């Protein structure tokens, strides 16, 4: 009986706990929905592994650089989705839209394994005070069956920001991910 009362109390308290959340939620801007020229790549399928993010970028809070170089949280603004999931999904979508391959994030949904796996480790993901969004790290292309030459490559891409607002950061994040997708596609071209 006490277990049932505890469960009912918890169920009643959950809606009340969410009532105090006044944070605005910002999704990472999706890759353009306009028709994008598809680059022919040497593989038919690509699996994008969960992207590795630094701790400040993996948190739900949106951070921006200050004049001192410190990264500070934007008040009352958070990412709309888990940042790892959002960045991984945005990268997979961008690769899918920009290449001739079928692309999905892990876990790979088909019975036949993907021809290649892409793994991205981001070491800097910063909305800089100078109005640019910086994304850098390394990506690896693994081809277990030898479909393409395996590689590990460093990258540094950026995107302009209109200002340091959360909406501008979200837009620039999406553009930087698109730019990273273009770098990966260059390595997969026929």
DSSP one-letter code for 161: -
pTM for this prediction: 0.86
Task: Judge whether 133 and 64 are in contact, CB under 8 Å.
Answer: no
At residue 155, the 3 state secondary structure works out as strand
Assess if residue 169 is contained within a domain: yes
Mean pLDDT of 139-168: 94
Q: What is the mean pLDDT of the chain?
A: 89
Burial class (CB in 10 A: 0-12, 13-18, 19+), 140: middle
143 is a domain residue: yes
CB 132 within 8 A of CB 103: no
Q: What CATH code is carried by the domain that includes residue 65?
A: 3.40.50.10610
Cα(190)–Cα(140) distance, integer angstroms: 18
pLDDT at 186 over 60: yes
Domain region containing 165: 23-188
Structural domain includes residue 91: yes
- Of 1-5, 63-67, 85-89, which gets the smallest average pLDDT? 1-5
- Position 6 in a domain: no
Q: Specify the number of domains making up the chain.
A: 1
Rounded distance, CA 82 to CA 173, Å?
A: 14
């Amino acid at each position: 009986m006490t277990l049932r009362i505890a469960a009912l109390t918890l169920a009643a308290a959950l809606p009340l706990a969410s009532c105090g959340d006044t944070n605005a939620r910002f999704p990472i801007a999706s890759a353009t929905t306009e028709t994008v020229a598809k680059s022919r790549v040497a593989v038919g399928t690509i699996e994008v592994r969960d992207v590795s993010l630094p701790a400040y970028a993996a948190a739900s809070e949106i951070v921006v650089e200050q004049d001192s170089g410190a990264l500070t949280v934007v008040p009352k603004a958070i990412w709309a989705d888990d940042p790892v999931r959002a960045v991984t999904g945005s990268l997979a979508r961008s690769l899918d839209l920009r290449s001739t391959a079928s692309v999905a994030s892990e876990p790979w949904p088909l019975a036949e394994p993907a021809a290649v796996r892409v793994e991205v480790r981001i070491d800097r993901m910063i909305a800089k005070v100078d109005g640019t969004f910086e994304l850098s790290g390394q990506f690896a292309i693994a081809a277990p069956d030898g479909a393409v030459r395996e590689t590990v490559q460093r990258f540094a891409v950026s995107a302009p920001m209109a200002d340091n607002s959360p909406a501008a950061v979200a837009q620039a994040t999406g553009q930087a991910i698109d730019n990273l997708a273009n770098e990966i596609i260059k390595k997969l071209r026929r």
